[in-house]
Chains A and B, each alone.
Chain A
Amino acid sequence: MSFSILFLGTESRADFAESHFLVGQTDNEAFRLYADVDSIQQVRFNAFTLTAYLVNEKAPSRTAYKFQATGNPTGSFEDTPVRVTFHVKNGSANSTGTILMPVYNATKFDLLQVSKQDQPAYVSVSGATQMEFQLGNPADSLPVSITDVAINGNCAKCWNQLSSSVAQKSSLQIEPGTNASLPLLLSPNSIPALLQGALLLKPDAPHDTLSITLTYHAVPGGAEKKQTIAAGVRFGPGLFGLALALCGGIALGLTARYLLTDKLGNENEPALHAILSALVLGLIAECVGILVTSYGNSKLVLFGMDVDPRQLFPAFVLAVFVSGGAAVVSRITAFFGKAK
C-alpha cells in the first residue's frame, strides 16, 4: 500500500470534530494529522482518495495545511484499518508519526463470512416464510454495511415473492468480529413448488437453490462490492396439506385392509373404533417421524429409501402403512418382492 500526496494550500481552522476526523500525531507531538472520513472516495483503477489536514501544534496560529492523499493498493488484501506511517518535513527537521485509518482494495474480495448450510431450509408452501441467514464480519476488519439484497431462485415459477427488508435506506451494518441475521421473506407459488419437490424424496436434497446477491461496502467509504451466496431450500406442504395427505393415506390404507381382510380393524372391533385408532396412530407415526428426522440423526426409511415425512408423498405412504396394518404391508412387500 502506498500513498501519494498533493498539497492543496492552507486553511485557518481548528475545528476537527472527532466524529468526522481520524487523528494521528508525530512522535515528537509537534504535528497532528487529521484525515477527513467524509472525504474518502473510491476512484477507478483501484485507488482511493481522501483529504487530510496537517496542523503544527506548537505554532501560535491555527493554520492547517490541506492535502489530498491518494491510496494505491498493491497485491490483494481486504479493506481493513491499519496504522499508516507519515513523515513531516519542516525545513531541516523531520518528524515521523502514525495514524490509524482504513485502507481499501477494490480487487474482488468477499468481506463477509457465510456459515455453511448443513441442511436445506424448510419453506412451507402454505404462506410466506421468514428466513434468517447468518452473516459474519471477521475481527480486525472494518464495519460492513449491506445496502441491497437481490434473491433469485433457480426455479423462477416456484416463487411468488423473494425479498429482504434490507435496502439502501434500511441497511444492515455488521461490526467487526460480530454476526448478524439477514432477514429474508420467501413466499412460494404453491402448486409449482410442490411439483418441484414431489420427486425429490431424499431429505437433504434441495428442491430449489436460491442465489442471494448482497451489495455492500466497508464503512466508511469502501467500494461497493457484490457477494453471491447459494442457499438450498425444501418446499413443504404446510399443516393443512400434510393433514390432507395423512387423511387420504389413512382412508386408502383402511380401504385396502378391508378389501384384503373383510375387516376394518381387529376381531370384533367396531368400525368407528378402528377408524379412530387408524387416525390416532397415523398422526402419532407422522409426528414421531417429523420429530426424529428433524431434531435427531434418525432417518425414516421406506422400501430402502430415505424419505422426509414432512413431504406429501411420504406422509401419505406412512399413513397407508399404519392404517392398513400387517395385511397391507405384507401384500405390498410381496408385490415389490415380485417386481424385483
Chain B
Amino acid sequence: MNCFLRGRLLQRWKLWRPCRLLLALGLALQPGNGADSPRLRRPAMMDSNGSGSDLFVVDASANLHAFHVKQNALVEYRQMSLPADFAASDMTYLLSGSQESFLIAGTLSRRGAVALFSLDGKSLQTWSLRNICSGIDFGAATHVAYVATSDSNEIYRLEMKSPKLTFVTQVDDAAKLGPLAFDEVRQEIYVADVAAGRIYKYSIAAKASTTLVTGLSAPTALSFDPDSDRLYIADPGRRGIFTIDTRSSKPVLTGFAAGQMQSPSGMALLSQNRVAVADYGADSVLVFSNKGSLLFRFSAPN
C-alpha cells in the first residue's frame, strides 16, 4: 500500500514536472511591476525619510524613484512621474501624520512654485511665487519649510497650512541662490550660492546673514547633520563632497569624498551615519560612511 502510494505520488510528480517548469517560465517572463518603468538615469536630487531607511531620488526626466536602503544595497520599490510642465530644482521629504509626501521646489509655467506630492504621485497642494524657486528644506518638528529663489536671492518661509509663502530675507551679496539646508534646533538656514561658490548662514533669530565659506565652484546640494553639526556640500565643479563644522568660529572647507564621482548633484543623509550622493554624470548613487569611505555604488541595470 505504502509502495503503491509512493508510486502514485512519484507518477503525479513526474506528470507535474513539465507543468511546473512551464509555470515557472511563465512567471519569469511576466513583466514585473517595474518592467516598463524608466530606469534611474541622471539622478539630480534626493532626500531620505526621517530615519534614513528610505531614499527618494528625482532624475533629470522628472521621475521619482523610491528605494529601501539596505546594508550594502539600494532596493527600488516605487516610481512616480512628476507632471511634465513642472521643472523641479530641489526636493524635501516630509511626514505628516502617517502620510509620506514631498515638497518639490521649481518652476511651473515659467513661475516659481512649490508643490506637495504624495508618494503615489498625486499633487496635493501648490504654492506659487513670482520668482524662480531653487532650494528647499523642511523642519519636521516645526512643520515649516524654507525656500530659496535663484533670480531674486530671497528666502521664503512656507507653513503647510498657509496658502502663501512669507518673505524672510534677501541675501544681498548673493549671485544665484541654490540649495538650502535648515538647522531646526538653532533656527539657522544654510544656503549655497551656485554662481559665486559660497555658503551663507542666515540666523532667523538675529535676522542676519553671514558668509560661512567661499572657495567652491558650483555647490548644488547641501545636507545638514544635526548630530555632528556638520554641513555636507556637493560641488560638481570640483567633483567632490566637502564638509564644514558649522559651530566653528572660522569654518574651513574640508574634503570629504572626491575622485569616485563625475558630477555630484544631490545628497541625503542615511541611517547608520551614511551619506548618499547622486552622481548625475555616472547615472548612479554612491553611499559613503561618515568618514568618507565609499561603502557601495548603485547603478540601475541596463
Contacts and interface: CB of A to CB of B under 8 A. Distances in A.
Contact of B195 (A4, A8, A44, A108): A4
A230 interface: no
A123 B275 CA distance: 53
Interface residues of B, number: 33
A45 B238 CA distance: 16
Interface of A: 2, 4, 6, 8, 41, 43-47, 49, 68, 70, 72, 108, 224, 226
Contact of B178 (A44, A68, A226): A44
The 10 closest A-B pairs by CB, nearest first: A49-B237, A72-B195, A45-B178, A44-B220, A68-B217, A70-B218, A45-B194, A43-B236, A43-B218, A6-B217
A44 B265 contact: yes
Interface string B211-242: 00001111011000000000000001110000
Task: Please indicate which of the listed interface residues A8, A45, A49, A226 has the most CB atoms of chain B within 10 Å of its own CB.
Answer: A45
Nearest to A3: B195
Interface in B65-112: 87, 89-90
A41 B196 contact: no
Contacts of B195: 2, 4, 47, 70, 72
B263 A6 contact: no
B218 A47 contact: yes
A70 B220 contact: no
27 contacts: A2-B175, A2-B195, A4-B197, A6-B215, A6-B237, A6-B238, A41-B236, A43-B194, A43-B220, A43-B236, A43-B237, A44-B44, A44-B90, A44-B220, A44-B265, A44-B266, A45-B134, A45-B176, A45-B220, A47-B194, A47-B195, A49-B218, A49-B236, A70-B194, A72-B194, A72-B195, A224-B60
A4 B192 CA distance: 14
A47 B238 contact: no
A4 B60 CA distance: 25
Given A2-B175, A41-B236, A45-B194, 12 more contacts: A4-B197, A6-B197, A41-B281, A43-B265, A44-B44, A44-B266, A45-B89, A45-B134, A45-B150, A49-B237, A70-B195, A72-B194
A44 B177 CA distance: 11
Contacts of A226: 61
A68 B263 CA distance: 14
A108 B110 CA distance: 9
Interface in B164-184: 175-176, 178-179
B201 interface: no
Task: Please indicate which of the listed interface residues B42, B196, B218, B280 has the most CB atoms of chain A within 10 Å of its own CB.
Answer: B218
Contacts of B218: 43, 47, 49, 70
B278 to A, nearest CB: 10
Nearest to A74: B151
Interface of B: 42, 44-45, 60-61, 87, 89-90, 134, 150, 175-176, 178-179, 194-197, 215-218, 220-221, 236-238, 262-263, 265-266, 280-281
A44 B278 CA distance: 12
A108 B60 CA distance: 13
A108 B106 CA distance: 13
Contacts of A41: 236, 262-263, 281
Nearest to A67: B217
Contacts of A6: 197, 215-217, 237-238
A44 B197 CA distance: 13
Contacts of B134: 45
A294 B108 CA distance: 44
Task: Please indicate which of the listed interface residues A2, A4, A44, A68 has the most CB atoms of chain B within 10 Å of its own CB.
Answer: A44
A108 B236 contact: no
A99 to B, nearest CB: 19
B237 A108 contact: no
Contacts of B236: 41, 43, 49
A4 B196 contact: yes
Contact of A72 (B44, B89, B176): B176
A68 B42 contact: no
A220 to B, nearest CB: 14
B281 to A, nearest CB: 6
Contacts of B221: 44
A41 B236 CA distance: 8
Contact of B263 (A2, A43, A46, A47): A43
